Amino acid sequence: MLNAVKREIPDYIEGYGEVRHFKGAYASLDNRKKVGVNGRTVKPSNKLQPGDSKMVQSIEEILEKVNFHDGMTVSFHHHLRNGDYVLNMVMKVIHDKGFKDIHLAATGVFACHEPIVEYIKDGTITCVSCNYMSPGPVAKAITQGYLKKPAVFRSHGGRPRAVESGDLHVDVAFIAAPSCDEYGNVNGTHGKSACGVLSYIYPDAYYADHVVAVTDNLVPFPNCPIEITQDLVDYVYVVDSIGDPNGIVSGTTRVTTDPIGLKIANSAAQLLDEAGYIEDGMSFQTGAGGTSLAVAAGVRERMIKKGVVGSFGAGGVTAYIVQMLEEGLFRAIFDVQDFDLRSVASAGTNPKHMAMSGSLYGNPHSCGPVVNKLSIMILGATEVDVDFNVNVVTGSDGTIMGASGGHNDTAAGSKISIVVSNLLKGRLCLVRDRVTTVTSPGETIDVLVTDRGIAINPRRTDLLEKLKDSKLPIMTIEELKKIGEKLAGIPDPVEYTDHIVGVVEYRDGTVIDVVYEPKK
């Protein structure tokens, strides 16, 4: 047949295959597909013609353009943490328009998202999936059984695995964009609402059917530097404010001054030194809590004393890790989120401070996540059991108060994973016969360091051998449990209904545990 330039082209060419005929320079855009990792088709094209605008005037217009309907999945990211405005803003319009049975696929849910409790109760939202859920009204409502379907808790690496594999299909992704141009080039490190890298929303930008950048800082094209590129973004919507960056600093991000916390941290740092992990080329990640940062302080002192230079710090980044980079103690930082404004500034200015996607961070099905190169990981816990299984999803009363985050990703990947915690938590012994909810399996947890003693997983015979002559208070986990129960007693068991309110996925997508609704 004749194509648009009047060339006679057969419908089929041997050795090539079926021919899609040229219909014109712009008509051919109708056949365009957006292609992602490994050449897979990841989202339908918005078919933007030259001269067309991506700018929209309202959330209502966005919903109309994407043909929004009941049962859709919408996603958001949590880099603004407890200062986020975008999730509430969008969900209010979806609620007011009367849509139902919505799956809220947020990477994190915080206390600031309390307005969605109403939407859960009235059936606007019937499913929630996330990597992290802070204690607060939403967690309480889900614990009490108001959500129609079980919440799904994934790890920071498990969520991008789910998105990339198709286990989690996102219809519309909303990116809170601190800086954006009219064509959708986005970064998170500039603008009045700068929150640092936007790593957790990267897979949604690639794989969601529709991607919307919501910004309070529209800049001339091209926006530099570019973190999420224009070819992934369908619409741009300008608002007065996407959030309060001061809400990023939710929880302590300073080294503890508590004597008990300092004792735990010093023991952990000494153990790492005696076991030979503080060495040239080491890599390190810690949480943002005061005791975890005190471990980082102890590691830093020993690195300086020994003249050690590590390869990288990783994970959620604090000012303390930035300081270690600037002091030359690490050659680089791999960053998935920033916990304070100094980290935000560093992410925007230091070329050695690098953003990484959640998939690069912890996806076990990728060609090689960064967690597999971690030497040392410092973890927290709400409970640990005698098999070293760790719970960070629920409290001992069954109330949802967290989610895996990077816990089971880093525990599995690192050379040594250490849980640091007071032995008594809320007047209860941290060590239980059986944790309320398993987040990270005991086979991936190496050491528990408490103020009353240290337990090494019996699987780590190498550590037990190296530390057999140590003066550290090393004992069995059963001995730690007895000490804690002597101090706090044994609590009465919590009774549960048979209603499952949450599903805890391991990083590979298998279900490691479920959360039941406590009896009222």
What are 380's two structure tokens?
A: 């927290």
Ranges assigned E (strand) in 181-319: 186-187, 210-215, 235-238, 283-286, 310-317
Q: Strand 511-518 relative to strand 496-505: parallel, antiparallel, unpaired?
A: antiparallel
- Do 62 and 190 meet the contact criterion of CB atoms below 8 Å apart? no
- CA 323 to CA 302: how far, in whole Å? 15
Q: Which residue has the tokens 């809590």?
A: 289
- CA 451 to CA 420: how far, in whole Å? 9
Q: Is 319 helix (H, G, I), strand (E, B) or coil?
A: helix
Q: Is 477 helix (H, G, I), strand (E, B) or coil?
A: helix
What are 317's two structure tokens?
A: 């980044």
Strand partners, 355: 335
Nearest to 449 by CA among 418, 477, 425: 418
- Do 96 and 59 meet the contact criterion of CB atoms below 8 Å apart? no
Q: Which residue has the tokens 């101090």?
A: 487
Identify the DSSP state of 4. T
- Do 356 and 198 meet the contact criterion of CB atoms below 8 Å apart? no
DSSP H stretches of helix in 173-258? 202-207
SS3 content of the chain, % helix, strand, coil (to 5): 30, 25, 45
Instruction: Report CA 342 to chain centroid distance, whole Å.
Output: 20
Identify the DSSP state of 320. H
pLDDT, mean of each 10-residue run, the chain (520 residues): 74 77 57 42 60 92 97 97 96 98 97 97 97 95 96 95 94 98 97 95 96 98 96 96 83 72 95 97 90 93 97 94 96 95 94 96 94 96 96 94 92 96 93 95 96 97 96 98 95 92 92 92
* DSSP-derived secondary structure for 31-59: G-EEE-GGG-EEEE---PPTT---EES-H
Q: Is 333 helix (H, G, I), strand (E, B) or coil?
A: strand
- CA 225 to CA 231: how far, in whole Å? 15
Half-sphere exposure of 303 (CA within 13 A, CB side): 24
Strand partners, 243: 84
- CA 199 to CA 203: how far, in whole Å? 9
